[in-house]
Structure 1
Amino acid sequence: MEFWLKTQARENNEKIFLDDGSTQLTFGEAYDYTTRLAHTLTQLKRTRLGLYIDNSIESVLLINSCWLAGIETAMINTRLTDREIQSQMASVNVETIITMEQFELAGLTIIPYKTLQSQMSSQQFEFDFSFERIASIMFTSGTTGPQKAVPQTFANHYASALGCKESLGFNAETKWLSVLPIYHISGLSVILRALIGGFTVRLESKFVAERMLQIIQEEQPTHVSLVPQTLKWLMNEGLTQPHSIEKILLGGAKLSSSLIERALQYHLPIYNSFGMTETCSQFLTASSEMLATRHDTVGQTSENVDVKIKNPNHQGHGELLVKGNNVMDGYLYPENSNNAFEDGYFNTGDIAEITEEGYVMVYDRRKDLIISGGENIYPYQIETIAKSHHLIEDAVCVGVKDETWGEVPSLYYVAEVAISDDTLKDYFKENLAKYKIPKFFHRISSLPYTSTGKLQRNQLKN
């Protein structure tokens, strides 16, 4: 089997693959360029590279060039601190990072993309394509442990794309507007669907409601990926009719009933979804018709995915398990963290229910996980940093509701003396990305533990 970009170049050579509003690149042009950049990348003699990228045509070309060179790509969240990036790269033995902007990072070799461009020649290279090879590595983490490195194979991505095609729908005539970060699975998945399905991706570098609405009105995309908050901003800006949009794919945070009702009132074709880094994006999708019936559903699975509830209680609530070719085979790091699999099923850690109609409701997304504006925030990481402060004896982080972001982190800490909020914020800025820094700080005399030593987070949630 040949690489998807090569297939599209052969079958749809003149078809537009990438469009950023000013530049358009065909599948044929993209293939020619990436095979030449792949040859340059082979000179690095690396089988795994870190990618510090943005939402640009160049970033998409770089990813595909790595794949053509037989190089695994470790995706870097550009909002992370230097320390967080260093830790992630070390965990998967990455020594070299290709970047779209110039910076330095101790202990790592940083190569600007423009440097690679200047070294390109007419020589081409293409590695033997294999479904079982790792395509991308992304990082996630639980609330009770360290970061986890998720390997995503080409087979995982392919199964995910097929499932999306069945549950959401796309074809060669699709034009998908994507503003989600490519270093996230939600953003990268759009690129992979285009490679497999042969459609056009309209890339936008960042979300600006006025600009997004203009693109929708003038450029007539058929699909768009958003998080609930960005949909709300678009509707506030004037998105009160679908225009040419056939599907609005939502994810990253729970949908409120008011948002669903407003979108349906405008006849916007919203599709709610649920997925994880470990499942290569969505594996549950709810259509507008489903949402009109049940606001709380994240939908049904595609035929190539199986889900079930582990140890359901009298209400049918239990941990959500999933099995399918879209699911990773196991974490790269830590090596002892693969106990999440049970009889071939991956345990998501989410509490859910499946109705007789096959509708899935997720009640707690990883119980303690904080989802803020589509970003996952892990209390364990914040608590670890807090407890490293010389004045803090103990700490716990919980999510509190926020009208704009869904949830924001709030820190409770035990200390003999009071610490100013500004002092704590400055301390966290040295160790955490800005969006992870607690918005509220509470000094308390002790934290609530059970007799067996288990922390009772729910007692602190308000």
Structure 2
Amino acid sequence: MREPVEWPTRDLLTHRAGTTPERTAVVDADGGGTTTYRELDAAVDEVAAALEALDTPNGRVATLVDTRPAVGRLLFGAMRRGLTLAPLNVELDAETLSTQLQALDADTLVCERDTEELATEIADRPVVSVDAPDGGGVERSLSDEAVEDGGTAEPVELDRDATQLVLFTSGTTSDPKGVRLTVGNLVASATASAFRLGVSPGDRWLVCLPTYHMGGIAPFVRCVLYGAAVVVQREFAVGATARAVDERGVTGVSLVPTMLKRLVDAGWNPAGTLRFVLLGGGPVPPSLVERCRERDIPVCPTYGMTEAASQIATARPETAFEHRDTVGQPLVCTDVKVVADGDPVGPGVRGELVVDGPTVTPGYLDEAATDAAFGPHGLQTGDLGYRDEDGRLWVVGRADDRIVTGGENVDAAAVEAVIRQCPGVEEAAVVGLPDEEWGERVTALVAGDASPESVLEYCRDELAPHEVPKRVRVTDALPRTASGTVDRAAVRAAMRN
């Protein structure tokens, strides 16, 4: 008797193209073109053939390609050949990229026309482009390789434990680490997300986040599994993004809080087709959630990590509107424990959030980093939070953001939450700086219309004396990483000046 099939035997796109070949797979929000699953399958076959023609003994292909439809072709082309894809951040400096490329030990670097010169500067290995070479030092394109190999490639057997992606963390509080994500991690994440957000065959998920981060690349996997379409916009822009939602029939979009705030500030009233705004990458101000409620914007605050292939917990709009600051319950099959002094604690008790389940990475490129990150209860996130009786999560800060000043512990996130309530303040980042007298001194970088004096006065009324910042600076916007999280290293540098 034949054994039942419990797992896709070939890459995810092969299965989708064989099931619904006529459905729209990709929409180019900038150029206006659309691609069906049949057409995407043929394009991915060409990429897979090109990758097969390259020498890849280590099974890893790095990319230096910004957000564009070609990212999906590269992802599924690598999956079809059983290769690991490692998207690199095109905004990083050459030295950092060189270090990451060495850590990856990638066989090939794939660039685009705009990154040709940077790619040839950092690479000591073959470089090919997704575009026709433009004199930047790259001599061959993937199309050239595919033509020489005949243009087709036989899909390899899909292995759920194979590392499909390596993504580098944002590195806001430490050096970026290369996170390994398996095919199983990606499928489990897509499945859990579908249970929380819902799925319709006509869904269209707008991608305007960088695709070298989890929030930008996850929709490509999810839409192929769902039979939905991914709408790709090369970069976020208030007017263009608002038009893309309305004119492209977008039903879901992934944003960071700063993006959503800019849309709301501009008077955004999304079309009725929009079902969810998946909002992650940092704390969501309660005032922003309230403004979304007033405008009937279906905001879904989420807590996620690269190490968990995106979402860990997500609040549906009705939960977000009713329960201030929550990120909702964990997704299905995702286990989140609150651990204090080494043991799980009950509702209402703060501790470190520890995550386990099928979405969680098997580890980092560096084994020492892997050993340090995992404990008896799972992945130690370094995030602090608590749960209520109904399992809803509240994330209150980072364990390594704790400031010790004059022997007193200061929770940076708690101080930030107070400062955000000060009239005129839009955002706040609190960091500790070395101080000869106090050990560390509390400082705050604030965005908005408030003055440093008004912020300090507000803090003196609302905070304990040791929590009041010794210095406040006002800026136009907080520095952020490409994934939208506050860049604390940049905040510290700004406060030192």
* TM-score bucket of the superposed structures, by smaller chain: 0.7 to 0.9
- The CA distance in 2 between the partners of 1:153 and 1:98, in whole Å, is 21
Deviations 1:335-360 (A, max 9, x none): 45423222251111111101101110
Aligned twin of 1:59: 71
- The CA distance in 2 between the partners of 1:54 and 1:76, in whole Å, is 9
Out of 217, 229, 238, the residue aligned to residue 188 of structure 1 is: 217
SS of 2:382's partner is strand
Out of 156, 171, 174, the residue aligned to residue 127 of structure 1 is: 156
Aligned twin of 2:237: 208
**Correspondence list, 1:51-450, <5 A:** 51-101=63-113, 102-103=116-117, 104-109=120-125, 110-114=127-131, 115-121=141-147, 122-125=150-153, 126-140=155-169, 146-311=175-340, 312=345, 316-365=349-398, 367-368=400-401, 400-403=444-447, 437-438=490-491, 440-442=494-496
- The CA distance in 2 between the partners of 1:6 and 1:247, in whole Å, is 28
- The CA distance in 2 between the partners of 1:173 and 1:245, in whole Å, is 12
- The CA distance in 2 between the partners of 1:88 and 1:397, in whole Å, is 34
- The CA distance in 1 between the partners of 2:312 and 2:230, in whole Å, is 21
- The CA distance in 1 between the partners of 2:363 and 2:443, in whole Å, is 28
Shift of 1:221: 0.9
Aligned twin of 1:10: 18
- Range with greater deviation from structure 2 (286-295 or 360-369): 360-369
Shift of 1:304: 1.0
Deviations 1:247-284 (A, max 9, x none): 11100111111111111000111100011010000110
- The CA distance in 2 between the partners of 1:313 and 1:4, in whole Å, is 40
- The CA distance in 2 between the partners of 1:333 and 1:277, in whole Å, is 15
- The CA distance in 1 between the partners of 2:39 and 2:347, in whole Å, is 58
- The CA distance in 2 between the partners of 1:203 and 1:305, in whole Å, is 29
Shift of 1:242: 4.5
Aligned twin of 1:458: none
Shift of 1:154: 0.5
Q: What letter matches 1:179 in structure 2?
A: C
**Count of aligned positions:** 396
- The CA distance in 2 between the partners of 1:202 and 1:70, in whole Å, is 26
Shift of 1:13: 0.5
Q: What letter matches 1:34 in structure 2?
A: V
Classify 1:32/1:399 alpha carbon distance in 2 versus 1 (closer, same or farther; 3 Å).
farther
The 8 Å contact of residues 141 and 147 in structure 1, kept in 2 or not, is answered as: yes
CA RMSD of superposed structures (Å): 2.8
SS of 2:372's partner is coil
Shift of 1:237: 2.3
Shift of 1:210: 0.8
Deviations 1:399-434 (A, max 9, x none): 844437xxxxxxxxxxxxxxxxxxxxxxxxxxxxxx
Q: For structure 2, which runs of at least 5 residues remain unmatched after alignment?
A: 1-8, 132-140, 403-411, 414-428, 434-438, 449-486
Aligned twin of 2:49: 39
The 8 Å contact of residues 174 and 222 in structure 1, kept in 2 or not, is answered as: yes
Q: What letter matches 1:256 in structure 2?
A: P
TM-score of the superposed pair, with normalisation by structure 1: 0.79
Out of 35, 48, 61, the residue aligned to residue 49 of structure 1 is: 61
Classify 1:324/1:244 alpha carbon distance in 2 versus 1 (closer, same or farther; 3 Å).
same
Q: For structure 1, which runs of at least 5 residues remain unmatched after alignment?
A: 372-376, 384-394, 405-434, 444-462
Deviations 1:108-165 (A, max 9, x none): 2332223111332344112222111111001127677543211000000011111101
The 8 Å contact of residues 248 and 270 in structure 1, kept in 2 or not, is answered as: yes
TM-score of the superposed pair, with normalisation by structure 2: 0.74
Q: What letter matches 2:494 in structure 1?
A: F
- The CA distance in 1 between the partners of 2:442 and 2:183, in whole Å, is 36
- The CA distance in 2 between the partners of 1:209 and 1:141, in whole Å, is 24
The 8 Å contact of residues 348 and 388 in structure 2, kept in 1 or not, is answered as: no
The 8 Å contact of residues 8 and 28 in structure 1, kept in 2 or not, is answered as: no
